[in-house]
Amino acid sequence: MKIQFLGGAQTVTGSQYLVTVNDHKILLECGLFQGRRSETYEKNLNFEFDPADVDAVLLSHAHIDHSGNLPNLHKNGFKKHIYATAATVDLCQLMLRDSGYLHEKDVEWINKNRASKHEEPIEPLYTIEDAEAALRLFVGVQYHRPIEVAPGVTATFNDAGHILGSASIVLDLKEGRKTRRLGFSGDVGRKDMPIIRDPEPPTDLDALIMESTYGDREHADDSGALDELADVVLRTIKKGGKLIIPAFAVGRTQRLVYSLHELRKKSRIPKIPVFVDSPMACNATDVYRSHPECFDREAYFRFVRDTEDVFTPPGFTCVRKAAASKKLNFLTDPHIIVAASGMAEGGRILHHLKNNLEDERNTLLFVGFAAEHTLARRIMDGEKEVKVFGEKYNVECDVVTMPYFSAHGDRDDLIEFLTGTPPKTLKKVFLVHGEKSQQFALKERIEEKGYKQVRVPARLDSFSL
């Protein structure tokens, strides 16, 4: 039995781990490497193994850094099953198609440039059609129901509490007389997040592959989130402005809607209109509706038993058509717009920034992390003049950043996840999906708890189990 780390090793993108048992190969995740195009294109294009030799893929959740290279895996010869929870399958239907579309668009633009220099056109990493072919390999599984995915390999999906359908996976491995229980955390969420359930720490593990995105951070207590959100809304209304919130389409948007609905219901904010201006977010919301088996008790009772529409409540509008989105520019009374993308690197949020940045009555609210060099990050960092669609705009509106709504657990959440199995049993811990500084700080913490072999594997490192 062995495990090889092929991506998401000392970095946060391109998650990919290959487990070999009885000469059968099981791939955990097949994420997209993201970053500078010149560095990632080749990495995504080529696999370190022959995809035709892989017996099964296990996918923890739908985020592109975990699922986004599956179409390419299929294109290169993988023809077996991809196991994921039913909600993850449905979210991947949206996200992989969208990713194929973006790859096609990206290359269209590059090829126009190349043609002007009489260079050969390049192929997209994959197309919508490739994504659709990979989607036909998906098999939906239920939480807590063990399933044999290859001879000697049984997988059980448990709730990871990160986004709808997210799972951590326990692998029971048998090779000759040797048995091992290997845990894979996927992305670990946080306790008490609305809508979805809490993470379930796995037990009785011999080895664990655990994410470490926030291995050295403590999140702000989310209990202040509603108060601050109410404050921002009230301040914006007082000024007679609009509240613009860039947000990721899957997870963050649904959570914001849930919280805004909560505030309106308790009459803590007036009933001003709220628009979710993103076809992807609207479609993802529909996936949420069709998977109440993933909800926590509160969301389940409100949505299913009490038929309360917590996802698009009265006063909330899903905006799918571009023409309807453009009409929002002409609204003059205070209102709230939630639009993708969260880092303001594309999507309809750019139109709203262009139209609203220069009006001091408006508020721009950031509710999540934004990577360096993104437009969101530049505005968060206080730049007073930014470019949108190539034109300069002054940032005159209020800019507010709230440290809440993270879907990733912090250091304490990760430690709690790991300590589901005591050091006596859990012999090997591999930290993945994190920047090095976060990983080594977390490694130290874990060692302080008595766990001995804690490793931070580099790409292509391999270990026996």
Give whichever of 72 and 213 is closer to Zn ion, judged by the CB atom: 213
3-state secondary structure string, 177-204?
CEEEEEEECCCCCCCCCCCECCCCCCCC
The span from the CA of 414 to the CA of 145, in Å, is: 24
Phi and psi dihedrals of 388, rounded to 5? -125, 130
Nearest distance from residue 252's CB to Zn ion, in Å?
11
Joined tokens for residue 414: 């990760």
Chain-centroid distance, C-alpha 250: 7
Instruction: Report in angstroms how near the CB of residue 251 gets to Zn ion at its nearest.
Output: 8
> Considering the complex, what minimum distance in angstroms separates the CB of residue 63 from Zn ion?
4
Q: Which of residues 395-454 bind Zn ion (CB under 5 A)?
A: none
Q: Tokens for 332?
A: 């003059």
**Nearer to Zn ion (CB atom), residue 124 or residue 251:** 251
418, 446 Cβ separation under 8 angstroms: yes
Residues 6+ apart with CB under 8 A from 227: none
Shortest distance, position 77 Cβ to Zn ion, whole Å: 27
Report in angstroms how near the CB of residue 248 gets to Zn ion at its nearest. 10
With respect to Zn ion, which residue has the nearer C-beta, 64 or 465?
64
Look up residue 4 and give its amino acid. Q
Q: Which of 32, 19, 181 is nearest to 95 (CA)?
A: 32
Which candidate, 185, 136, 143, places its Cα nearest to that of 164?
143
Q: Shortest approach of Zn ion to residue 407 CB, angstroms?
A: 7
Residue 387 structure tokens: 């470019």
Q: How far is the CB of 134 from Zn ion (least distance, A)?
A: 19
Least Cβ distance, residue 162 to Zn ion (angstroms): 6
Closer residue to Zn ion (CB): 55 or 187: 187
Q: By rule CB under 5 A, what count of residues binds Zn ion?
A: 2
400 and 365 Cβ atoms separated by less than 8 Å: yes
The closest alpha carbon to 246, from 394, 91, 401, belongs to: 401
Compare residues 63 and 255 and give the one whose CB is closer to Zn ion. Answer: 63
Determine the interface stretch with Zn ion among 16-24, 57-65, 324-332, 424-432 (rule: CB under 5 A).
Answer: 57-65
Q: How far is the CB of 55 from Zn ion (least distance, A)?
A: 25
Cβ closest to Zn ion, residue 343 vs residue 400: 343
Which residues have a Cβ under 8 Å from the Cβ of 270 and sit 6 or more positions away?
A: 237, 264
Interface residues for Zn ion in 4-43 (CB under 5 A)? Answer: none
Which residue, among 305, 300, 303, 256, has the nearest Cα to 278 in the 3D structure?
256
34 vs 76 by CB, closer to Zn ion: 34
Residue with Cβ nearer Zn ion (1 or 57):
57
Rounded to whole angstroms, the Cα distance separating 254 from 311 reads 7
Closest by Cα among 47, 64, 6, 391 to 251: 64
Between 51 and 165, name the residue whose CB sits nearer to Zn ion.
165
| CA dist., res. 298 & res. 61, Å (int) | 22
DSSP, residue by residue, 64-114: HHHHTTHHHHHHTT--SEEEEEHHHHHHHHHHHHHHHHHHHHHHHHHHHHH
Q: Rounded distance, CA 43 to CA 37, Å?
A: 10
Nearer to Zn ion, 159 or 187 (CB): 187
Q: Which of 63, 80, 261, 443 binds Zn ion (CB under 5 A)?
A: 63
| Least distance (Å) between residue 186 CB and Zn ion | 7
90 near Zn ion, rule: CB under 5 A: no
Query: Which residues within the stretch 160-199 sit at the binding site for Zn ion (CB under 5 A)?
Result: 187
Q: Which positions lie near Zn ion, rule CB under 5 A?
A: 63, 187
